[in-house]
Amino acid sequence: MTVLLEMKERLKLIYSKGEPFLLPLVKFLLAFITFNTLNGRIGYMTQLNNVAVVLIVALTCSFLPVGAMVFFAAVFSLVHMYTLSMEVALVGGCVYLVMYLLFFRFSPGDSLVVVLTPLMCLWKIPYVVPIVVGLLCGPASAVSVGCGVVVYYLVEAVIGSASNINTMGDEEIVGKIRIVIEALVSDKAMLVVIAAFAVTILVVYFLRRMSIDYSWTIAMIAGVMINVVILLIGDLLYDINISVGGALLGSLLAIVIAKIVEFFRFCVDYSRVEKVQFEDDEYYYYVKAVPKMAVSVSTKTVKKINSQQTRAAGGRGSASRHTGRINQPARSEERNGADRGAAGERGASRRAVSGERVSTGRDTAGERQTMARGRGGTGRGQRNPAYPQSRSNVTIGSTVRQDTVRNVREDAPEDFEELF
Amino acid sequence: MLNEERVILMTRMASYEMGEGRENVKIGNYFRSDYIAIQVIKAVISASIVFAIVFSLYISYNFEEFMRQLYEMDLLAFGRNVLFWFAGTVLGYGVLAYVACSWRYAKARKSLKHYYQNLKKLNSLYNEM
């Protein structure tokens, strides 16, 4: 679990660092997959099937809001329908317009759901949608999922009617419209799936918001069960030929994906739940606090110490003689570890003679060890110029001088390069 | 000197302004009655267009039967029936839009209130300096 949590933190770190590039990339990939899937499924206009066209439109979508992807996907499907028959495109356009006017007005932020729902249906994993949407979105998203289901069944109706439409002449306008509408309206499976998905979303949403332990897991399992039950009832009532095995396998897959979503979105430790009770003038409070599971990612920090500038007001020769490593750290970097270690020991012995504290600061033991290793010293009693100290009085023999040691920390970024 | 609390507050507020806050500020510029009235009018227009589309599709679907019965049917009763359905659709959608917009306005005002509280807090943090 710790490894997974570390991986999650790393992913979050990567995302936060590369968000300006990752977000357009994800949008581009999603748009590319969507348009390609659409072309592969309908694909009546050969010019649109060209990869270059898809790439250009997908690139355009990557810099536009997600709503643009919905728009272009609708345009793609309408153009394909138009190639099949103008009447089919007319019906398709009417359906899109009705959905836009009636439903998108209430949930404009769910464009992604409208794109992903038909995509998941085409990939034969539709049961993932209501569970994940119920976990991540609100109850209003049921409308968007319903619209996505309608789009899928519209595409399927067009594909199913294509052979009949192709055999009809240009003068049979009403006949073509009738075929498409009939294929869409008479499909009871669409209504059953919309109802099942809407109920599932509501159940998952309300259960996962309840103040019970493992609410997300309970919500997803209950959602999956209700989804399957409604689909089976619909199958019994309307004979829509839903594969029971497919529904169960799809539901299992939905749980797996929902667990992954839960891990990234709602990773809490129910074994450390705290329940507290207190009151103020107006209320009694019964608070249940569930701690999140999180680990800090270990980062590698490489500190490169370039130079140390010292200001010696007087007695420079003496100071140099006694504390040459302080005044000339650039040269000391070039020396080998043994030499530096010896120098450290010399410094230690001199400080012992002076009897005064030489190194002060807020540095931690870890930093001391790190710095000591870098200088080849032992880290104990060694005068290390890289110690984070702002100003220290150094007494060497009879010479007292104010030695300013530069602070090699975040506030002096020119002195080191920080990598992670 | 950086004030950590101030930076966190400003980051949250900037994130809000870039995201849902943009829409909420637009909503907050209206009085409640104005906002709801505009949205309901839009909903009525939308519902009318949708009704026209669906009615057209219905007529197209039943075109042959409709043409066959055109001279036999009671056109006045048919018109009344269509008007009944039109009124039902527009009224139903209008009521739905009214409820949804009232809820959305209340939510936006609450959110903006919290935002303005943060703004005041930020101002006080600046004055402390």
pLDDT tens figures, A24-83? 999 999 999 999 998 888 888 888 888 899 999 999 998 898 888 989 999 999 999 999
Strand A284-289 and strand A274-279: pairing?
Answer: antiparallel
**CB contact B41 to A (< 8 Å):** no
Kindly provide the b/e burial profile for residues A58-80, where b requires at least 16 CB atoms within 10 angstroms of the residue's own CB.
beebbeeebbbbbbbbbebbbeb
Pairwise CB contact (< 8 Å): B57 & A94: yes
- Please write the tens of the pLDDT for every residue from B50-69: 999 999 998 888 888 888 88
Strands A284-289 and A392-396, how do they pair?
unpaired
If 0-12 CB within 10 Å is exposed, 13-18 middle and 19+ buried, where does residue A392 land? Answer: middle
Which range of A118-127, A242-251, A344-353, B37-46 scores highest in mean pLDDT? It is B37-46
Residue type, B43: A
Distance from CA of A126 to the nearest CA of B (A): 28
- Name the residue in chain B with its Cα closest to that of A101: B46
Residue A404 neighbours by CB distance under 10 Å: 15
Q: What are the chain B neighbours of A182 within 8 Å (beta carbons)?
A: 61
Asked if A101 lies within 8 A of B46 by C-beta distance, the reply is yes
Per the CB < 8 Å rule, is A178 touching B60? yes
- CB distance from B56 to chain A under 8 Å? yes
B100 near A CB under 8 A = yes
Task: Work out the pLDDT band at A247, boundaries 50, 70, 90.
Answer: confident
C-beta separation of A155 from A41 below 8 A = yes
ipTM > 0.90, yes or no? no
Q: Give the pLDDT confidence of A97-142 residue by residue, as tens digits.
A: 998 888 777 776 788 888 889 999 888 888 999 999 999 988 888 9
Q: Which residue of A has its CA nearest to B51?
A: A98
B-chain CB neighbours of A181 within 8 Å are 57, 60-61
User: Which of B49, B63, B64 is nearest residue A101 as measured by Cβ atoms?
Assistant: B49
| B60 to A177: CB separation less than 8 angstroms, yes or no | yes
Residues of chain B positioned with their CB less than 8 A from the CB of A94: 53, 56-57
pLDDT at residue A275 greater than cutoff 90: no
Tell me how far the alpha carbon of residue A147 is from its chain's centroid: 26
Q: How crowded is residue B26: how many other Cβ atoms within 10 Å of its Cβ? A: 11
Closest in B46, B53, B63 to A94, CB measured: B53
> Which residue in the set B43, B53, B60 is minimally distant from A98, CB to CB?
B53
Q: In the structure, what pLDDT confidence band is assigned to residue B129 with cuts at 50, 70 and 90? A: low
**Hey, are the CB atoms on B42 and A105 less than 8 Å from each other?**
yes
The answer to whether B84 contacts chain A (CB < 8 Å) is no
Chain B residue with the nearest C-alpha to that of A178:
B61
Average pLDDT over chain A reads 75
- B61 close contact with A: CB closer than 8 A: yes
List Cβ neighbours of A273 (8 Å cut-off, separation of 6 or more). Answer: A213, A288, A289, A290, A291
A177 touches chain B (CB under 8 A): yes
Relative to beta strand A392-396, strand A399-403 is antiparallel
Q: Measure the CA angle with vertex A242, ends A236 and A248; round to 5°.
A: 110
Residues above pLDDT 70, as percent of chain A: 72
Which structure tokens are listed for B10?
């400003």
> pTM for the full model?
0.70
| DSSP label of A298 | P
Q: Does A411 touch chain B (CB under 8 A)?
A: no
Rounded to a whole number of angstroms, the distance from the CA of A114 to the nearest CA of chain B is 20
